[in-house]
């Protein structure tokens, strides 16, 4: 239920911010323009897949285990299967083809799914934390008086929920490895590996539930500063769309020459602290082929979003058909 509710909120964010341009970043450097909705649509895809995984998981994990000491049902004579079937029916569990109490792949898969879910929450948390940093100032967790404040710095607004989501992701990841290790069980009743599950299973569920709860707070009232996103998109003075200029010039003067001229223009823009458009307009090799209006259009980041908005649309349509 928590997973589905977070999915709905992410769905709403993607739809609302479908066309809001912002800087896309690779290696923590501005790369090409995207939209905030596109970024959120990537989050949406992760949680759609988690819902698929959860639906698939049920049939493998929700299986009754009742099979006596060594798993043969010998103590029940010829009534063993009948008793097992009755118990499965009472508990609304599936019946196994054979005893599985030393085959722990179902439990290991469960915790690894929780690790995937919290890992996705951790990815969202890192995005939010960096975007909430003073220098970015693009998003904020909801404001609650006193929450996220520092004991000595009243101006602080720390992203507490994101920090907890990230911490949970790290802890559940460790438990996922422990559960895989606990699969290595000896003979028909293990001597100890399954005791490790007593730590990993409950803690993984608690941490995952806690991370989803924090995501409810962080995403439920997420403050998105679209004006700041646009300002950050403009801090490179058009350099973020140097590729767009190159691709726009390529049909006219050839790709390699376009690359070399735009490269020189970028260097000039850096050296002279001017915009890419100004640097291009100062180059006869450019202005001989394109006019000022074309240069201004090519250097506007909002004109080089690719199919980001359309990808949001496709993600929203795909998400609407996910299992609940």
Taking phi first (over 0 means left), then psi (-120 to 50 degrees means alpha), and beta for anything else, what does residue 27 get? left
With a CB cutoff of 8 Å and minimum separation 6, the contacts of 18 are 35, 37, 38, 309, 312, 313
Known catalytic membership, residue 297: no
Q: Is 26 helix (H, G, I), strand (E, B) or coil?
A: strand
Known catalytic membership, residue 49: no
- Alpha carbon separation from 104 to 63, 72, 97, 180 (Å, rounded): 12, 18, 15, 8
In what helix (H) or strand (E) does residue 94 lie, and over which residues does it extend? none
Tokens representing 86 are 């009755």
- Given 49, 147, 189, 267, the catalytic residue: 189
- Given 60, 89, 150, 314, the catalytic residue: 150
> Torsion angle, CA of 274/280/285/289, rounded to 10 degrees?
-160
Residues labelled as active-site residues: 150, 189
């Amino acid at each position: 239920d928590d997973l589905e509710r977070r999915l709905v909120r992410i769905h709403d964010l993607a739809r609302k911010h479908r066309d809001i341009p912002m800087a896309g970043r690779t290696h923590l450097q501005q790369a090409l323009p995207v939209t905030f909705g596109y970024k959120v649509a990537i989050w949406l895809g992760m949680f759609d897949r988690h819902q698929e995984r959860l639906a698939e998981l049920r049939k493998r994990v929700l299986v009754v285990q009742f099979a006596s000491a060594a798993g043969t049902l010998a103590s029940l004579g010829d009534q063993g299967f009948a008793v097992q079937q009755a118990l499965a029916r009472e508990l609304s569990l599936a019946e196994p083809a054979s005893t599985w109490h030393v085959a722990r792949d179902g439990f290991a898969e469960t915790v690894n799914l929780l690790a995937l879910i919290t890992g996705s929450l951790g990815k969202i948390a890192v995005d939010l934390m960096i975007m909430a940093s003073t220098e970015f100032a693009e998003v904020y967790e909801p404001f609650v008086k006193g929450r996220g404040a520092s004991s000595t710095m009243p101006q602080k607004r720390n992203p507490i929920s994101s920090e907890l989501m990230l911490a949970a992701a790290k802890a559940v990841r460790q438990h996922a490895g422990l559960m895989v290790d606990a699969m290595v069980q000896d003979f028909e009743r293990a001597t100890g590996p399954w005791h490790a599950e007593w730590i990993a299973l409950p803690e993984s569920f608690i941490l995952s539930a806690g991370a989803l709860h924090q995501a409810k707070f962080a995403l439920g009232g997420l403050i998105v500063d679209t004006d700041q996103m646009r300002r950050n998109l403009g801090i490179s003075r058009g350099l973020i769309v140097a590729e767009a200029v190159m691709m726009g010039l390529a049909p006219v003067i050839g790709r390699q020459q376009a690359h070399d001229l735009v490269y020189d223009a970028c260097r000039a823009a850096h050296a002279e602290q001017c915009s890419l458009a100004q640097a291009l307009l100062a180059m006869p090799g450019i202005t001989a082929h394109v006019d000022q209006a074309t240069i201004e259009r090519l250097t506007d980041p909002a004109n080089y979003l690719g199919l980001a908005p359309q990808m949001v649309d496709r993600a929203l349509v795909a998400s609407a058909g996910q299992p609940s």
